Structure formats: C-alpha cells, structure tokens
Amino acid sequence: MKSTWIILSCVVLGVSCTTVPITGRSQLTLLPEGELTQLSLTSYQQILSDSKLSTNRTQVEQVRRVGQRLAAATESYLRSHGYPTDQYHWEFNLIDDPDTVNAFCLPGGKIAVYSGLLPIAQDDAGLATVMGHEIAHALAQHGNERMSQALIVDMGGQAVSVAVRNQPARTSKLFMQSYGMLSQVGAILPYSRLHETEADRIGLTLMALAGYDPRRAVGFWERMSEDGGSRAPQWLSTHPNPWKRIEQLKTFMPEALAVYHPQ
C-alpha cells in the first residue's frame, strides 16, 4: 500500500521518484537536496554553538577516524553506482555530554556523536555501527521523504514545487520539525520503523565496505537494548523492537559480509 501511494504520488504530481542506494526502494523526494543541505548546515552550526565540544583528544580522533573511513566508503559506493557525491561535505564532531546516548547525521554529511554513546559503542566497530546507521539516514534521504509526505498532506494536493518555492519559511519550519531541532538537544529525525530498518540495512553494508566487521553490529544493538531499560510495544514506537531489530540485522548480514574486507 505504501509503495503504491508513493508511485501514484509521483505520477499525479509530476515530481521525481528517487531510488534509495543499496536497498533500491523507490521514494518520493520533492525538496531540492541542496536546499536541505544548506538548512542542515545552519542547524548543525547552531547545535554545535549551543553544545560543549569534547576536548578528549583520543575520543575526538576516534570519532573522526571512524567517520572518515565510513565517508570514504560511502562516496566510493555512490560513485561506482552512478550516484552524485557533490552534496557531501563531511564533518565529524564529538559533543561532551555523557548523559546523552545519541548521534546524528544531517543532509550533507554533518555528523555529531554524543560522548554518552562511547561506553556502549566500546570500540571502533561499535562506533561504526551507529555512525553507519546515521549516515544511512542521510544517504537514503529519509528526511526529504518525510518532509515531502508532510508537504503533500499539508498542501492538500496543491503544486508542491510552487508551494516550496513560494514559502521558504514553511520549508524551513518543516525541516526543523522533521529533524526535531525545536526543543531537543542532539535532535534526530523521528524516523518510522521502515526508515529505521532501512538505515540498519544500509548502515551494515557501509560499515562492511569501510572494513569493519558487520557481525559486530549485533553486539552493539544488544548493548543498546540492555541500556534502554523497559520498552514500549513495537506498534507504539517509531523504532523497531530491539530484539526484532537484531533478528532483522541477521537477515541482512549475508549482504554485508559479501562486501566485507578487513582493513
């Protein structure tokens, strides 16, 4: 039903359907990626200015080392499959906040990791798991997709391209709402379960392409589950049930292992 809705929307509105790298899923993306990249840069700079950046050289170097390997693998994959890479201007920062177990990647490759995540990540492979997952959200343009869906509902079938062009303030507001930056520190887009599962699959492949053993991802998500305490039922959450997520990861593992070459 969801895929049918997307296809019909593309036909009726005369806008572009794009294909998600690695998974091949068709999606509706109405907003120019360049516009989202510029909005994300402004938001990223604001988050950094409102945060305390880590001065722990070892940890900062770890985040940047892992990030650079993942970025190189991502761009290599995109180029080899005919996708553009010019919109990515990678940046990796570690925010000193031991109480926040979080990370995010905005359009254009602007990435931040919160120091509270590092004890759970434990090592480079664990960090590559979560950073690869967040890069996957940006790579798959999940934010653009959610904003496009919101625009269609909001505009009631009007010409979306005109609405976006004539209402830059509305576009900016949707961006801020979609990425949760209005009131949350270290905001991350509240992706649907579909997006989360897709990001898990893409992230697993990206970490494998970067030379990190994708099998280590299972241990990371197990630790995240143990750290998270009690969970709401899966159908009440935008995120997959932790154990369901681990089961799905195992089904994606052969695909990732096929491109894994230790470095």
Q: Which residues are catalytic?
A: 134
* Element at 36 (helix H, strand E): helix 33-49
Q: Which of 73, 71, 62 is nearest to 89 (CA)?
A: 71
User: Do residues 110 and 91 touch, judged by C-beta distance below 8 A?
Assistant: yes
Residues whose CB falls within 8 Å of the CB of residue 170, separated by 6 or more in sequence, listed in order: 154, 163, 164
Q: Are 27 and 6 within 8 A, CB to CB?
A: yes
CA distance 233 to 239: 10
Burial group, residue 222, by CB count within 10 angstroms (0-12, 13-18, 19+): middle
- The DSSP line for 116-131 is GGHHHH-SHHHHHHHH
Q: What secondary structure letter does DSSP report for 53?
A: B
Cβ contacts of 54 within 8 Å, gap of 6 or more: 60, 94, 95, 96, 115
Q: Kindly tell me the number of DSSP H helices and DSSP E strands found in the chain.
A: 11, 5
